[in-house]
Amino acid sequence: MDLNAKIPDGPIEGKWDRHRFEMKLVNPANKRKYNIIVVGTGLAGASAAASLAELGYNVDCFCFQDSPRRAHSIAAQGGINAAKNYQNDGDSIYRLFYDTVKGGDFRAREANVYRLAQISVNIIDQCVAQGVPFAREYGGLLSNRSFGGAQVSRTFYARGQTGQQLLLGAYQALERQIGAGKVKMYARHEMLDLVVIDGVARGIITRDLVTGETRGWVGDAVVLATGGYGNVFYLSTNAKGSNVTATYRAYKRGAGFGNPCFTQIHPTCIPVSGDYQSKLTLMSESLRNDGRVWVPKQKGDTRRPEQIPEDERDYYLERRYPSFGNLVPRDVASRAAKAVCDEGRGVGPSKMAVYLDFADAVRRLGQNVVADRYGNLFEMYERITGEDPYKTPMRIFPAVHYTMGGLWVDYNLMSTVPGLHVLGEANFSDHGANRLGASALMQGLADGYFIIPYTIGNYLAQAKLPKITVEHPEVQRCLAGVRAQTTRLLGIKGRTTVDEFHRELGLVMWDYCGMGRTAEGLKIALQKIPEIRARFWSDVAVPGANEELNPWLEKAGRVADFLEFGELMCLDALERNESCGGHFREEYQTPDGEALRDDANYSYAAVWEYTGEGSAPRLNKEPLEFKNVKLATRSYA
Amino acid sequence: MSKTMTLTLQIWRQRSANTPGSMQTYKLEGVNEHMSFLEMLDVLNAKLTKDGQDPVAFDHDCREGICGSCSMVIDGRPHGPRKGTTACQLHMRTYKDGDTITIEPWRAKAFPVIKDLVVDRSSFDRIVAAGGFVSVNTGVTVDANATPIGKKNADEAMDYAACIGCGACVAACPNAAAMLFTGAKVGHLVKLPQGQVERRGRVLRMVEQMDHEGFGACTNHRECSEACPKEISFDAIELLNREYMRAQVTND
Ligand SMILES: Cc1cc2nc3c(=O)[nH]c(=O)nc-3n(C[C@H](O)[C@H](O)[C@H](O)COP(=O)(O)OP(=O)(O)OC[C@H]3O[C@@H](n4cnc5c(N)ncnc54)[C@H](O)[C@@H]3O)c2cc1C
Ligand code: SF4
Ligand code: FES
């Protein structure tokens, strides 16, 4: 597998400029002769499709929801980072670059991260011009807030709905191009295969989710912006439809999968309340500014929180991390919560939760001030749990939130399959082993608005692309494969529902490939997953038919892929004998329980190559070099 | 201990756009009070699947009230009884043991049923495509802070922009009008300096598309903003009317 990242020469500050100058251009009049397939309409996909169409390319764009506006990006709450330094607090492109590389625990590619920080400022300009209603100060200028992992205030936001507003901006730009006839939008279409002809990505296979029609599409380049795979854990903060299908099927057609085991677990989510639970809801990490995290000192304490006296409470974050207290980074807070629950000191009906208590804050600041800061979050919590956080502490627990892993891409965002470009959360990204808050939105829009419009031109100007049609035998072969899988799924007529299998897989992933991982546990998972998969293929119950709207058939296909992909994640986690960012191998920790990196042996991106069914995937490595940031250990005690 | 209940569900079942539908009755036991409304439907669907029956199709994705996918009329009210709450944010503790709940799809000419509770809302996308945007291409070089925007206008723009495009306003309206949805987008953009240049053409084209899609006319029932899970104010409709009148008499 060729893992040449194609990083331009020269000093890091000038690489992108130089590359833009050196890249080949497609003549404006020729752009309309090219057809580009864009899968996904989240921040990455919608911004890419709109920008490519504005340049003159013809775009076919796909999403599985009923409207492009409903992509999962819509749910992002907190904000988007940019190195504008509007607050005059010492921010700079270099500082954003540095924070991101360090936050990612030194497992990202420097040149890409630097470019991301450079572009961040353009994103805000672009979004404001589109009419994105960012929060403003009384003087009319843009407002900023602080986020974890940074000492400057560089996060732009639109109330608690930043993702919604950014996505609507991109969606409106996309609809404008749809209206102009430059983008053909196919909503309620799911991509089920990638078509590779003579080693080059030339098309996709989709299923029309309303009629069941399976169809081939051909184009001159394919762009995947299909989001993350957190739902491999069944329970996560992701939307229900988020999946790995598009990227996994591309992997099976030759695209290398980068760092699949790098997942982010967010510490403050509403805990699981029962086995009917279908998803988890994030509570903003800003709550940790005023809330105090605690559990009872005594194991199995069943008293109500208000009955537990002060000296019988363990404010374990304040105890273990006196200097950062309740504001330690996400991965540290998550692991600490798990540790106290594992000791049997968890609270609530499931015992898998800790308290986040605002009693002190209410006493200190008054209920009004607390309501002003967190009112909407308290309301959201009340709606879900039926409890009033002004009166009784919130119960929170960590939940799967984001996946840093994804298809490997070079500096041009092209995967190991020529012509296949991957953007947003779907690629293995600029976030290394841990993503900082408010950086995913930034990356999705950087990829879609400001990188792919250039790099795809460079590709097209040089590629030799013979004319093909959907009659091409390879398209037909892929079509037949997809149809055969559908027929097979519908023909099993077993007794176990798709969700039951998904939950079972999710539990295995959570227990063995979640917040804490061990070689022993991962080996158990690697035995269990194929066993679940075998049962799935002999006993899954998929009701209904192909020729109709059939959400269970859709879901069955996605779970089938998760059942293979989960194994790849465990393999990757087992192979990486170190702890870094969200990847915590319990064997590799400092005496105080912090992650222990092994830079001498693991300073690389792990890129997995599919070698055929039943055959072990091959590991390739892209070495990471740090020339501009000094490798250092993170400490919060 | 959490309470459980037994419910009678009356649900609209319709195999496809071209087949007639009808209300069907299901009895569901063991519904936990902490379940969300959609989780209750998941439980029903698992049971139907195991019994070899066809489960109930409904749209959903985020399950936290922001994507606008979920769309069902619960006991005659779009998104159900709780104000400012989408169906996916509704929890079963709102109900009690022995209750009967009716569940139906959005009903409007411009939202044809696809199956069961799933409808086609692509007409909303076409209204946006007609003019619900600012015509700027990627590559703007004006600094984001070059044009200050008063906090009041910015906040009002955000109030309108909070619309999730769910269609409850249409489902609630006796005339199936899309005025609240369209007014919210027009209102968002008209409150901002960036939206001024295309102000006139935007409202004309969006209203024309709205009529073309077969949405009805507003006769001031105000049911729309009552049903809106994001509590978009009825002012959006007054604003839309004003903007439309203005556009007809000006030619800027
Ligand atoms: C609750 C929550 C809050 C968050 N808050 C923040 C925040 O404050 N700041 C921040 O920076 N990040 C945040 N994130 C992360 C961020 O929202 C996501 O990483 C980002 O939006 C992903 O965007 P995307 O464009 O890559 O993919 P998505 O928005 O997930 O879009 C994926 C698209 O691909 C389509 N698709 C997927 N598979 C297929 C297929 N097989 N066929 C056809 N179409 C397909 C979907 O229809 C969709 O259009 C948050 C995440 C969550 C879960
Ligand atoms: S105005 Fe309200 S009810 Fe209508 S689509 Fe928007 S959010 Fe839904
Ligand atoms: S499922 Fe997203 S708003 Fe209800």
B4 Cβ neighbours under 8 A, 6+ residues apart: B29, B30, B31, B32, B33, B97
B130 Cβ neighbours under 8 A, 6+ residues apart: A179, B205, B206, B208, B209
CA distance B170 to chain A (A): 17
Q: Do A497 and B149 touch (CB under 8 A)?
A: no
What is the C-alpha to C-alpha distance for residues A495 and B104, in angstroms, rounded to an integer?
29
Please give the pLDDT value at position A267. 92
Query: What is the separation, in whole angstroms, between the first and last Cα of chain B?
Result: 65
CATH number of the domain where residue A350 is located: 3.90.700.10
Lowest-confidence pick of A313-317, A372-376, A545-549, A590-594: A372-376
B167 and B201, same domain (yes or no): yes
Domain, as residue range, for B188: 121-249
B88 and B125, same domain (yes or no): no
Number of domains observed in the structure of chain B: 2
Please give the pLDDT value at position B93. 94
What is the C-alpha to C-alpha distance for residues A82 and A93, in angstroms, rounded to an integer?
8
Please give the pLDDT value at position B1. 59
A394 and A494, same domain (yes or no): no
Q: Do A142 and B121 touch (CB under 8 A)?
A: no
B140 and B200, same domain (yes or no): yes
B75 and B149, same domain (yes or no): no
Domain, as residue range, for A502: 489-623
CA distance A445 to chain B (A): 11
Select from B133, B142, B153 the residue whose CB has the most chain A CBs within 10 Å, as the one to mutate to test that interface. Answer: B133
Q: Do A549 and B150 touch (CB under 8 A)?
A: no
Which residue on chain A is closest to B130 by alpha carbon? A179
Q: Report the candidate in A286, A349, A346, A289 with the shortest Cα–Cα distance to residue A316.
A: A346
B9 and B35, same domain (yes or no): yes
CB atoms within 10 A of CB A322: 10
Q: Is the CB of B70 under 6 A from ligand 2?
A: no
- Read off the pTM: 0.97
B125 and B90, same domain (yes or no): no
Share of chain A above pLDDT 90, in %: 88
Walk across the sheet containing A58-62 and list its strands.
A183-186, A58-62, A35-39, A221-224, A420-422
Q: Give whichever of A277-291, A333-347, B96-110 has the largest mean pLDDT.
A: B96-110
Chain A residues close to B189, C-beta within 8 Å: 131
The mean pLDDT value for A294-306 works out to: 95
A449 Cβ neighbours under 8 A, 6+ residues apart: A47, A48, A51, A122, A123, A126, B138
Q: Of A379, A400, A421, which closes a domain?
A: A400
Q: Of B115, B134, B152, which closes a domain?
A: B115
Q: Is the pLDDT of residue A372 over 80?
A: no
CATH number of the domain where residue A542 is located: 1.20.58.100
CATH number of the domain where residue B215 is located: 1.10.1060.10
Please write the tens of the pLDDT for every residue from A546-596. Answer: 999 999 999 999 999 999 999 999 999 999 999 999 999 999 998 878 889
Q: Which residues of chain B have pLDDT under 70?
A: 1, 252
Number of domains observed in the structure of chain A: 2
CB A553 within 8 A of CB A272: no
Please give the pLDDT value at position A149. 67
B128 Cβ neighbours under 8 A, 6+ residues apart: A171, A172, A175, B185, B206
Note whether residue A540 is domain-resident: yes
What are the b/e assignments for A169-200, b being 16+ CB within 10 Å? bbbbbbbbbbbeebbebbbbbbbbbbbbbeeb
Please give the pLDDT value at position A379. 87
Q: Of B115, B139, B165, which closes a domain?
A: B115
Q: Is the CB of A39 under 6 A from ligand 1?
A: yes
Please give the pLDDT value at position A593. 80
Chain A residues close to B39, C-beta within 8 Å: 276-278
B243 and B138, same domain (yes or no): yes
A355 Cβ neighbours under 8 A, 6+ residues apart: A293, A294, A295, A305, A347, A393, A394, A395, A396
CB A261 within 8 A of CB A567: no
Q: Is the CB of B63 under 6 A from ligand 3?
A: yes
A555 Cβ neighbours under 8 A, 6+ residues apart: A498, A499, A502
